[in-house]
Chains A and B, each alone.
Chain A
Amino acid sequence: MKYALFLGCTIPARARNYELSARRVAETLGIELIDVERFVCCGFPIKSSKQFSAELLSAYNLALASEAGLELCTLCSSCTSALTEVAHELGYKDESQLAAVNSHLGPLGIQYSGRVTVRHFARILIEDIGLERIRKSITKDLSGLRVAVHYGCHYLKPSDIYGGFDQPEEPTTLEELVSLTGAEVIDYPGKKKCCGGPVLPVDERVALSLAKEKLDAVHEAGADLLCLVCPFCSVMYDGNQKGIENEFGVNYGLPVLYLTQLLGLAMGLDRKALGLNMNVVKTKDLMKKIPE
């Protein structure tokens, strides 16, 4: 199984722990991730300002994947939605739109055929690898852990572009994947709420308040960690956790792990190989709850 790995902007600069753990888990499961050096921003961060430019960026990336004859595997949920939306639009709607996009790609010597599939890493795990095969790679029992999962928004929405993957109102895929590790998945209020990341450049107080609401709920529910699948959600909950604690006079100390880090631990992979030393909220105490 072979995919072009789309890293986007946030991961190479701010979430190398996610990248490392995804690569290690992929290796363990026999997934081949191909690096395409020429990939650029997916366009999501400028969609609110100039949607057409954003779509051009997505189309350029899709064209590169198409040129390599590969499906796209994304790690960031915002990249997933931006790229999938454009793949969906250009693949199923009128051909004039594809022609318009290609006229702009022309000067770069590349054309898009309109036929590239984009899927998030977790979706590929569910759909192409399957829970049973993943279970066979699990060597450690993480039943000592209480895990809260955060789906975020664009892993599931807008649902009309995701071809029936999971259910936006009652999603289950992350619970299914985390449960493979033996960990207990716990529920908490506001599970489907947004991390606030997209408004960080607009109004920091609103963005941090949104993140705080979730950290409050997860902390209150007694979770040992928050597990997620998007680097920007992690910026909000892990990267900004200390800032939220200071700003609002609260205290969480809540480790935030990527799904791939949690799966990697259950696969017996080394803590450092999974980039756990790069998580902002320290994970050392958490490790004591995991068998040697």
Chain B
Amino acid sequence: MNSESGKHRVRAKLETRAQELTERLELQSVRSCYICRTCTSSCPVTFIDPRFNPLAILRMVLYGKIEEVLNSDFLWLCTSCYSCQERCPQEIPIADIMTKLKNKAFKLGNAPVGVRAQMDIIKKAGRTYPLDDFDNKKRAKAGLPELPTSCDVVKTLFESETESLK
């Protein structure tokens, strides 16, 4: 096998893999992008930190670099502000695509620590900021009603979901 045909085969394999992933994640709409860059110029994060660039991410998805996106740190810098999605002239649901990519990255174990911690706490307590008796004391002092300090419902919901995915 000469190195040229080897390279060719690797690229073909990458492209097939990218196409498969694109379809499985229902990201086909990225194909209609005509590179106007409205997304990137609307992105408040790109303005602060160019590591995050929505157009670049869409192109990476399209050109077989989806795994690089899923392994990246930059994917998680998206704030889900929807500026890109609202303005895309091709109506590509860019923010929704970022959510799908993040979901996939989370499944692969690539989410930042803070994001994983948020998931764990909600699974356990049903709230991002669990309440305790002290919180309820402060609430009572302010004349606000008492709220539950534990939550079993979330456990049942998550268990039922895990069960159905087996």
B2 CB-CB contact with A under 8 Å: no
| Contacting residues, chain A, for B86 (C-beta < 8 A) | 157-159, 168-169
CB within 8 Å of B: which of A181-236? Answer: 190, 192-194, 196-203, 206, 209-210, 213
Interface residues of B in 105-162 (CB under 8 A from A): 106, 111-112, 114-119, 122, 126-129, 131, 135, 138-139, 142-145, 147-148, 151, 153-154, 156-158, 160-161
Interface size on A, residues (CB 8 A): 57
CB-CB contacts below 8 Å: A41-59 with B: 41, 45-53, 56-57
Contact B161 A104 (CB under 8 A): yes
Inter-chain contact B112/A201, CB cutoff 8 Å: yes
B77 at the interface (CB under 8 A from A): yes
Bound Cα distance A52, B100 (Å): 11
Contacts of B127 in A (CB 8 A): 9, 13, 40-41
Name which residue of chain B comes closest to A48, CB basis.
Answer: B102
Query: Given the complex, which residues of A lie within 8 Å of B103, measured CB to CB?
Result: 48-51
Q: How far is the CA of A210 from the CA of B79 in the complex (A)?
A: 10
Residues of chain B touching chain A, judged by Cβ–Cβ distance below 8 Å, are 44-45, 47-49, 73, 76-83, 85-86, 95, 99-100, 102-103, 106, 111-112, 114-119, 122, 126-129, 131, 135, 138-139, 142-145, 147-148, 151, 153-154, 156-158, 160-161, 164
Query: Inside 8 A of B157's CB, which chain A residues have their CB?
Result: 53, 56-57, 60, 104-105, 108
Question: Are B151 and A53 closer than 8 Å at their CB atoms?
Answer: no
Cα A103 to Cα B160 with chains together (Å):
9
Residues in A with CB closer than 8 Å to B99 are 47-48, 51
State the CA gap A45–B95 with chains docked (Å).
15
Minimal beta-carbon separation of A83 from chain B (angstroms): 15
CA distance A12 to B119 in the complex (A): 19
Asked if residues B44 and A193 are in contact (CB atoms below 8 Å), the reply is yes
Is residue A35 within 8 Å, beta carbon to beta carbon, of the partner chain? yes
B117 touching A201 by the CB < 8 A rule?
yes
Q: Please, how many angstroms separate the alpha-carbon atoms of A129 and B33 in the complex?
A: 43
A123 within 8 A of B: no
Rounded to whole Å, the gap between the CB of A2 and the closest CB of chain B is: 16
Q: Is the CB of B128 within 8 A of A153?
A: no
A203 to B74, CA, bound (A): 10
A-B contact pairs, 25 of them (CB 8 A): A10-B129, A12-B135, A12-B144, A13-B131, A35-B145, A40-B151, A40-B154, A45-B128, A46-B118, A48-B76, A49-B106, A51-B103, A56-B157, A103-B164, A107-B160, A157-B82, A158-B95, A168-B82, A194-B81, A196-B44, A199-B77, A201-B112, A202-B114, A209-B49, A213-B48
Other A-B pairs, 16, CB within 8 Å; known A107-B156, A194-B44, A196-B44: A9-B127, A12-B144, A13-B131, A35-B145, A41-B128, A46-B119, A47-B99, A49-B102, A56-B161, A157-B81, A158-B85, A158-B86, A194-B45, A198-B80, A201-B114, A202-B115
* Residue A239 lies at the interface, judged by CB distance under 8 Å to chain B: no
Q: How far is the CB of A279 from chain B (nearest CB, A)?
A: 13
Minimal Cβ-Cβ distance residue in B for A37: B148
A251 to chain B, nearest CB (A): 21
Known A41-B127, A53-B161, A199-B76: A12·B139 in contact at CB below 8 Å: yes
Minimum CB distance partner of B106 in chain A: A49
A52: chain B residues within 8 A (beta carbon): 161
Bound Cα distance from A50 to B114, whole angstroms: 15
Q: A13-B135, A20-B142 are in contact. Are A46 and B122 (CB under 8 A)?
A: yes
How far, in angstroms, from A46 to B119 measured CA to CA in the complex? 6
CB distance from B21 to the nearest CB of A (A): 17
Bound Cα distance from A166 to B37, whole angstroms: 26
* Contact among A45, A192, A202, A209 with B122 in the assembled complex (CB-CB below 8 Å): A45
